[in-house]
Amino acid sequence: MKVLSSTLHGVLLLEPRVFGDDRGFFLESYNRRKFSELGIHEQFVQDNHSFSIRNTLRGLHYQVGQAQGKLVRAIVGSILDVAVDLRRHSATFGKSETFLLSDENKRMLWIPAGFGHGFRVVSETAHVTYKTTGFYSLPDERTIAWDDPDLKIDWQLDGPPILSQKDKLGLPLRDAEVFE
């Protein structure tokens, strides 16, 4: 597993070893021992899978109380994945970074608890899976406005985003509950 650079403390862009031949390929998407060697010691408790069409924008989501770390990958298609540091005492608080995850590059993104997360579908469709370190909790769920001008996220849109009602009602970071 190769770790690629990230400007956000704790966020890791991971590139697994891919073994391919004329039949296809094989890769290890998770190995507890190898992840521990990379400093990821959290235990995963839930796997999620979403399917979305081009320009669907999901996020920026996070949970307070029952915060979640996430290991994200696009298994079909490509997404622009975004992590936002919501840890008030972090040197990168309020900063974000975008990453291209796709079935072609097979990269994964580790986003520790304390970050907001979202993605936009770049391809015609995308299947995205992610493992979480905490169970989903509706009362703890929060949403930051995807278009908060203070965050300056370049979603590389090629048309208006397709949003859920929840994502249309996201709060600006300055009004949101964050991690102390």
Domain parsing of the chain, residue ranges: 2-175
Looking at residue 68, its amino acid is Q
Catalytic hit among 30, 41, 49, 61: 61
pTM: 0.95
Classify domain 2-175 by CATH number: 2.60.120.10
Nearest to 56 by CA among 71, 73, 78: 78
DSSP 8-state symbol, 42? P
| 61 a catalytic residue | yes
Q: Coil, strand, or helix at residue 137?
A: coil
**Alpha carbon separation from 49 to 18, 71, 117, 135 (Å, rounded):** 22, 12, 15, 14
Alpha-carbon distance of 86 to 173, in angstroms, equals 8
Residue 49: the pLDDT is 98
Q: What is the pLDDT, as a whole number, of residue 83? A: 98
**What pLDDT is recorded for position 171?**
98
DSSP state of 167: H
Rounded CA-CA distance 124/119 in Å is: 14
Q: Which of 49, 117, 127, 130 is catalytic?
A: 130
Question: What does each of the 180 residues of the chain score in pLDDT, given as a tens digit?
Answer: 999 989 999 999 999 999 999 999 999 999 999 999 999 999 999 999 999 999 999 999 999 999 999 999 999 999 999 999 999 999 999 999 999 999 999 999 999 999 999 999 999 999 999 999 999 999 999 999 999 999 999 999 989 999 999 999 999 999 999 998
